[in-house]
Amino acid sequence: MRKFPKATEQEINEGPQTASFQIANGNARQDCILQTNFPTKIQAQKYLLTNWPTIEKMARDALAAGSFEGGKIKLVMI
């Protein structure tokens, strides 16, 4: 089993990491952010890719509901 690299001092100081992605919105792209509890960017990105179908559905539901913060859809991992 592959081990994740240890969090750098900068990542520890920054706290939980985010993973950014975009979804198609007609002919445009919608920026989205997934706030995670993971200490490293690699772990946050792996979580995003592993759970992509669920996260994409949540982002599309938020897009349909008009839930934007600063022009971006923000999803938070609990």
Q: Which domain holds residue 67?
A: 14-76
Is residue 2 situated within a structural domain? Answer: no
Q: Decide if 5 is inside a domain.
A: no
Residue 45 lies in a domain: yes
CA distance 56 to 66: 15
Entry pTM:
0.79
Residue 3 lies in a domain: no
Residue 59 lies inside a defined structural domain of this protein = yes
The answer to whether residue 69 is domain-embedded is: yes
The string of pLDDT tens digits covering residues 9-22 is 766 666 789 999 99
The structural domain count of the chain equals: 1
* Separation of alpha carbons 16 and 13, rounded Å: 9
- Tens digit of each residue's pLDDT (9 = 90 or more) over 31-45: 999 999 998 888 999
